[in-house]
A = this chain, B = another copy of it.
Amino acid sequence: MADKKNMVIAQSGGPSSAINASIAGAISRAMAAGEIGKVYGAVNGMQGFLDRKLISISDQITTSDDIDTLIHTPAQALGSSRYKIPKGVEGDAVFARILEILKEYDIGYFFYNGGNDSMDTVCRVANYFKEHGEDIVAVGIPKTIDNDLAETDHTPGFGSAARYVAASVAEVYLDTIVYPLPAVTIVEVMGRNAGWLTAASVLARDTGVPAPHLIYLPELPFDPDDFVARAAELIRKEGQIVVAVSEGIKYADGTYIADTGAAEDMFGHKTLGGVASALESLLKGKSGISGLKSRAIMFSTLQRAAAHYASATDLSESYECGRRAVEAALAGRSGVMITIQRESSEPYLIRYAEGALDNIANEEKTVPLEWISDGGTNVSQEMVDYLRPLVRGEAAETHVGGLPRFFRFDWTKTVGPGE
């Protein structure tokens, strides 16, 4: 690239509380050095890019305080999208349009920050540029609370969600035991196919509580009779227990447990009852424990947006992934995603590397079955050792008056080429 090219960055997939640390890292690196011209952001991912919803980050981020605040702001500050580029001829037209917009804005560097689907998108974009001899690099920046991306030890966003889940499970346990009555609290954790985040509930035990007493991941089929037998025995023995369950657990026949909890609401809509409610009903109906107090808690979007309890380790790694994505791009490496490679868990040592997007796109890294223990109701010590370093460190938040401040881009201030 002869002259100074501009860059564009966009975000996609589901929110996390560390995703903006990654764009903060990329933006800082791009703005600090002289190799890059303007820094554009596409609002609402690829969909927004195709609609030319480009804003000038160079104009909207003006102080280091903006960067600090952005790091601690949860959920895509540039918005997200679930858009997928179609295959075949239709897709070719989209790629041509992408190229057209990039050239209009004189962009030489394209960054996409997201999970599996997003890595597939940036992979295809990078491959298209290569095949067409275009001198534009496309680099992926990993993000997902599901921790299910291939080629990386773990994903930015996971550690913060894991920290929230672990602390919340411990707190919920202390709340569950206050009355001398048989009680069960079932907490439902995100992760449709990969159980990493549900597994992280195990770290609640590091706070000195015995919860969670049972942990169910989606990697193994769920046996309702075995669950009822184990839970009832534990309740009889302990009095009160907490069960952590992935939203994605299935019966042996492949149907989701969540579906069986479905009930019709007041308008006759079939609502997904949620796994936790389904298991709660199951226990109430079949445990044989009279007066069983039960509660189902869905961590819902709280677990992926709880920036107020982010892991400092996660935020700094997320930032670094963004920073290194810009360096990889400047070195001309396209079609790669920044990865984290673990050298050791204790002491915790990592190094950053790059993985080929061709090996990452559409792959899903689930929990190794040998890390699931006790007949599919617990996780192994290897899992605990793997998880512990990821939740460490309290993020220095940007609080005013006891509450966080958030950074918000003005999504309506779109700019044309050259602006």
Contacts and interface: CB of A to CB of B under 8 A. Distances in A.
A54 to B, nearest CB: 15
Most chain B CB inside 10 Å of its own CB: which residue of A47, A397, A408? A408
Given A263-B265, A267-B281, A180 B48 contact: yes
B261 A263 contact: no
A264 interface: yes
Contacts of A263: 263-266, 271
Interface string A65-77: 0000000011110
Nearest to A168: B302
B305 A302 contact: no
A313 B180 CA distance: 31
A230 interface: no
Interface of chain A: mostly helix, strand, loop or mixed: mixed
Interface residues of A, number: 80
A155 interface: no
Most chain B CB inside 10 Å of its own CB: which residue of A44, A163, A281? A281
Interface of A: 15, 17, 44, 47-48, 73-76, 79-82, 163, 166-168, 170-172, 174-180, 185, 203-204, 206-209, 260-261, 263-267, 269, 271, 273, 277-278, 281-282, 284-285, 295, 297-298, 300-302, 304-309, 311-313, 388, 391-394, 397, 399-406, 408
A-B pairs, 3 with minimum CB distance: A263-B263, A267-B285, A392-B402
15 contacts: A79-B179, A168-B308, A175-B304, A175-B305, A203-B403, A204-B403, A208-B405, A263-B266, A263-B271, A265-B273, A302-B302, A308-B309, A311-B402, A392-B402, A394-B397
